Amino acid sequence: MPAGSKLSDKEQGMILALKAVVKGLREIERLIGRSKGAITLFLKDAAAYNTKKRTGRPPKVTHTDIRRLIRTASNSFLSSRELVVQCHLTIKARRARQLLATCDHLRTCSDQ
């Protein structure tokens, strides 16, 4: 069975106003003309209604971690393992080398 259309901003405001006046769910349903399920879903978490949920696995290394790794690598002569330890990262040395390889201004020992 297909899902109905999302509640408009006007309908959302009406639901919140009627709920504030302590109207029952059935009465709100009758006044607005929307299903009980749609109204309950909105009232459960009005702030998160109509927003996309984040999908997928979160990254193990954040953008902040990558910047910190690159900054530390450009200011020192440490191995990739030492960089991971010094930056307190939860990645392997191989992943650190992969991240550093994307940086144009850094050169490895094999590049020289």
Q: Which long-range contacts (CB under 8 A, 24 or more apart) does 58-63 make?
A: 60/90, 60/91, 61/89, 61/91, 61/95, 61/99
How does pLDDT run across 85-107, given as a tens digit for each residue? 999 999 999 999 999 999 888 87
| Integer Cα distance of 98 and 100 in angstroms | 5
CB proximity list for 33: less than 8 A, separation 6 or greater = none
pLDDT bin (cut points 50, 70, 90) of residue 110 is low
Q: Please give the distance of CA 52 from its chain centroid, rounded to a whole number.
A: 10
Q: Enter the pTM of the model.
A: 0.53
How does pLDDT run across 10-58, given as a tens digit for each residue? 999 999 999 999 889 999 999 999 999 999 999 999 888 888 888 899 8
Check residue 56 and give left, alpha or beta (phi > 0: left; psi -120 to 50: alpha): left
